Every structure is written in structure tokens, then in C-alpha cells.
Amino acid sequence: MHTTAISLIELGAVFFGLGLLGRIAWKIGISPIPLYLLGGLAFGAGGLIPLEGIEEFAELGAEIGVILLLLLLGLEYSAEELVTGLKRSWMAGLLDLVLNAVPGAAVALILGWGPVGAMAMAGVTYISSSGIIAKVLGDLGRLGNRETPVVLAILVFEDLAMAVYLPILTALLAGATLWGGLTAVGVSLIVITVVLVIALKFGRYVSMVVDSKEPEVFLLRVLGAALLVAGVAAQLKVSAAVGAFLLGIAISGSTAENATKMLEPLRDLFAAMFFVVFGLNTNPKTIPPVLGFAVALAVVTTLTKVITGWFAARQQGIGRLGRARAGAALVARGEFSIVIAGLAVTAGAVDSQLAALATAYVLLMAILGPVAARVVEPVAYFWQRKLAKS
């Protein structure tokens, strides 16, 4: 059979299979990310039926998926919201960083992966999944709750931290010297500052450049701008993902809302491809040796996220039940943990088992997060009644 025909058949089977997995995930009330990863594991190296012939498209599609994930994340926030969120949540944000980055770094050092591996695993265990958390809060009807702005403020802090973290990680993965790493940080901070100033003062002009009344033209402009900015950012060693995130911040108002609606289907498509590619590049046989570490990290970082949410909500004068809900809401890890692990493994600068550990960890946390958010209220009410009787 012709190579192109085989590639089309495989690609069609992958997309159709992802649709079935996504349907199953939403039916049982979990994020589809774990099932996408499992699908990739099943058809990658060492899997049941290794796929061949779609590697180039899959890799490029995965990169576009990362760019769209970060672009739409940036579109969710205005520059004013980012600055306000940072002011309100910086203490809780720092606590979140310390409590949740240290366990990942510690495990990497125990496994002998060195400072670069520790830096990568710190990011994997630190960053919560904005996508999963937003979906769960919406499904549970908690978007109007008093603790929800606290949760969103923590997520804003994490996103800003990623804008600084990713360039540092990229520099380390490329084998940069200490000076090169500091230079990357400096460039990143300058770029972030410039973009925030532009977004605050001239955001409407950025929106005007990409806006259009014709949907087709609008889509081409926004997508083209995102890819251009991401490419330029990658050339400057700032990270393509960060470039897309900053562009999203700079676009505001109705333009941002329209762009989000138009790009969401594309994001979901290419993001699904990204998770599949990560799974395809991870040999299932490498997971059992690190499964114990993944479980240990899941237990520890579930507790540390709950502590973070509890502390942040208490700072805002929220009651105990609201504090518990805030902590449970932050538990989920997902897309950005895999993005970080993907960057590290693709660069070839860390142990290949990092992909296996990250996969197992995200599989656990993407399921545990929504479950924790759903059961926290019944559990809290149970203990309240028990304590009241005693």
C-alpha cells in the first residue's frame, strides 16, 4: 500500500480513537489526559501495535498543541488580572513553589538524574493543571464560590512562574553555562516586563492587529501570529510556549473572547496529539521501576497542594470548608507537567526514565485531582459532624 495511504489510515485511526477515549473520559467524569497518555503508550515503542509513518506530522502537531495550550491560557487573563493576582497571592504562591517543587527535585536527585533532572522534575510536580481545574470547578458549580478567586490567583502565580522557569530549563537542557542560564533569565524577565507593559498600555492595538470581522481571516491572523511569536521566542531561547502565553496576555477584550471560542477546537485537537506523542515516546516497560516513586510523589504533593490552598484561603478570611475546597481544587496535574517532561526528554539531557516517571505521576494526579475536588465536601461534612458529636 502507498506510504501516504498508510499514513492517512494510521492518522485517521489515531484521531478516531482519541475521540472514543475522550467520550469515555467525560462519561466517567475524569480528564481525558490519562486516557490519551495510555493510548500513546499502547501504540508507541514497546506498545501493542507500534505506529509508523506519522512521526513528522505527530511531532509538529504536538508542538502546535503546546503553543495553543499556552496561547489560550494567556487569553484567559488580562494584564491587569495578572498583576492583581500576583499582588494578592505572592505569599501563597511562594509557599506553593517550595512545597510542591522540592519533592520532585528530591526524587530526581535520589534517582541520580543530577541538577538538570531535578530542575525538570521540580516543574513537573509544581505546576497544577489549569485546564482540569477549570473544568472541574465548572462541573461542580463552584465558579461563584468565595474560594475560587483564591484558586485562580494561585494558578496565575504558577503561570507567571512558568514564564520564568521555562527559559531557565531550556537553557540548562541546551547545556548552557551558568552565565548562559543567567542571561536566559534576564532575557525572559525583560521580555515578560515589556509584554506586560505593552498589554497594560497598548493592548487594544495588539488586539486590533489580529482582529477581523471575517472568521476565516481572524483565525488565520491569530494562529499565524501565535506561531510567529512562538518561533521568534524559541530563537531568542525564551521558549516557544512562553512566547505564545505572552501573546495571549497582550490580546484582550472581545478579541480575546472570540479568539478563545475559535481556537478551542484546534487546541483540543493538537493538545490531544501532544499527549499521544508523549505516550508514543515512552516505553511502557520503563514505568514499573519508577511506579513506587510516582505513587510516593502523588501522596506527598496531594498533601502539599491541599496545604497551599488551605493557607491561601485562610489569608482571605475564608472558612474551613472553603479552605478545604481550595486545597483539593489545586491537586490536579496534567498538560503542563507533560510539557515540561517532554522538553526535558526531547533535549536528551536527562535520564529517559524521567518520561516514565512523569507519565505515571500525571496519570495518577489527573485522576486523583478531580476525585479529591468531588469528595472534599462530603469528607469535610463527615468530620464536622463527628467532631460536633464528640
pLDDT digits (tens, 9 = 90+) for 94-146: 999 999 999 999 999 999 999 889 999 999 999 998 777 877 877 777 877 88
Q: Residues in the chain, how many?
A: 390
Cα 314-319-323 angle, rounded to 5 deg? 60
Is the CB of residue 293 less than 8 Å from the CB of residue 356? no
The pLDDT score that the predictor gives to residue 237 is: 63
Domain extent, residue 279, equals 3-389
Domain count, the chain: 1
Q: Tell me how far apart the alpha carbons of residues 263 and 69 are, in angstroms, rounded to a whole number.
A: 10
Cβ atoms within 10 A of the Cβ of 179, count?
Answer: 8
pLDDT at site 184 = 64
Shortest CA distance to 282 belongs to which of 369, 368, 349, 351? 351
Grid cell locating 352: 529517559
pLDDT digits (tens, 9 = 90+) for 216-243: 999 999 999 889 888 887 776 666 777 7
144-178 pLDDT, tens digit per residue, is: 788 888 887 888 788 778 777 877 787 777 766 55
Backbone angles phi, psi at 214, to 5 degrees: -85, 120
Q: What pLDDT band is residue 41 in, cutting at 50, 70 and 90?
A: confident
List all residues 6 or more positions away from 252 whose beta carbon is below 8 Å from its beta carbon.
78, 79, 199, 203, 204, 206, 207
Query: Residue 70: what residue type?
Result: L
Phi and psi at 360, nearest 5°, equal -60, -40
Q: Amino acid identity of 296?
A: A
Q: Which residues contact 236 (CB under 8 A, 6 or more apart)?
A: 187, 191
**Residue-wise pLDDT tens digits, 308-352:** 999 999 988 898 889 999 999 999 898 788 888 888 887 776 777
Report how far residue 79's alpha carbon sits from residue 85's, in angstroms, rounded to the nearest whole number: 10
Query: Which range among 39-48, 93-102, 164-173, 284-293 has the greatest average pLDDT?
Result: 93-102
Q: What is the 3-state secondary structure (H, E, C) of 317-352?
A: CCCHHHHHHHHHHCCCCCHHHHHHHHHHHHHCCCCC
CA dist 252 and 76 (Å) reads: 9
Domain with 72 in it: what CATH number? Answer: 1.20.1530.20
H helical segments located in 174-284: 178-210, 215-235, 240-250, 253-280
pLDDT at 47 over 60: no
SS3 330: coil
| Cell 489580529, residue located | 210
What are the counts of helices (DSSP H) followed by strands (DSSP E) for the chain? 15, 0
Average pLDDT rounded to a whole number, residues 195-204: 70
CA–CA dist 51, 43 (Å, integer) = 6
Nearby residues of 88 by Cβ (< 8 Å), 6 or more positions away: 153
Q: Are 71 and 226 in contact (CB under 8 A)?
A: yes
Buried/exposed code over 59-83 (b: 16+ C-beta within 10 A; e: otherwise): bebbbbbbbbbbbbbbbbbbbeebb
pLDDT (0 to 100) of residue 220: 92
CB 334 within 8 A of CB 132: yes
pLDDT of residue 306: 95
Cα(175)–Cα(172) distance, rounded to whole angstroms? 5
pTM of the model: 0.76
From CA 226, how far away is CA 228, in angstroms rounded? 5
